[in-house]
């Protein structure tokens, strides 16, 4: 038996989720992701939007591509990028779990007897 748990129910280990947040932890990469969430764009657009150098943009796009959160489709001389479906879904779920409680956090255990 390898794994009978449905994908959605399978817990994602902290390292994997942290890696998703790490993708959003850079200001420039965050702007790229937020831009691609609105519309498809090619590299040159992102260069114009962000004001960053071509090499820098290309680098971040590779990072996002290798993390499977953006998809690049070569079309002639251009490469159109868009957000991968379901990208950051797990990160969103975890963040909702963190923020949700809202109420005062309970103190469930006595001081220091792990």
Partner DNA sequence: CGCTGATATCAAAGTATGCTGATGTGGGGT
Partner DNA sequence: ACCCCACATCAGCATACTTTGATATCAGCG
Which chain residues interact with a copy of itself by CB under 8 A? 14-15, 17-19, 21-22, 24-31, 33-34, 36-42, 44-45, 47-49, 75-76, 78, 80, 82-83, 85, 87-89, 91-92, 94-102, 105-109, 111-112, 114
A 10 A CB-CB count for 20 gives: 20
Given DNA, a copy of itself, none, residue 40, with its beta carbon under 5 to 8 Å by kind, binds a copy of itself
| CA 59 vs CA 9, 33, 106: distances in Å | 33, 14, 44
Q: Which is nearer to DNA, 15 or 102 (CB)?
A: 15
**Contact call for residues 23 and 29 (beta carbons, < 8 A):** yes
């Amino acid at each position: 038996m390898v794994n009978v748990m449905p994908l959605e129910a399978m817990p994602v280990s902290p390292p994997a989720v942290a890696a998703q947040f790490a993708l959003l932890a850079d200001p420039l990469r965050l702007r790229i992701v937020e831009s691609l969430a609105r519309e498809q764009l090619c590299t040159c657009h992102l260069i114009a939007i962000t004001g960053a150098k071509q090499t820098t943009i290309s680098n971040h796009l590779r990072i996002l591509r290798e993390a499977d959160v953006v998809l690049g489709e070569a079309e002639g001389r251009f490469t159109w990028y868009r957000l991968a479906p379901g990208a950051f879904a797990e990160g969103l779920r975890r963040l909702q779990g963190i923020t949700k409680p809202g109420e005062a956090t309970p103190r469930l255990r006595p001081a220091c007897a792990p």
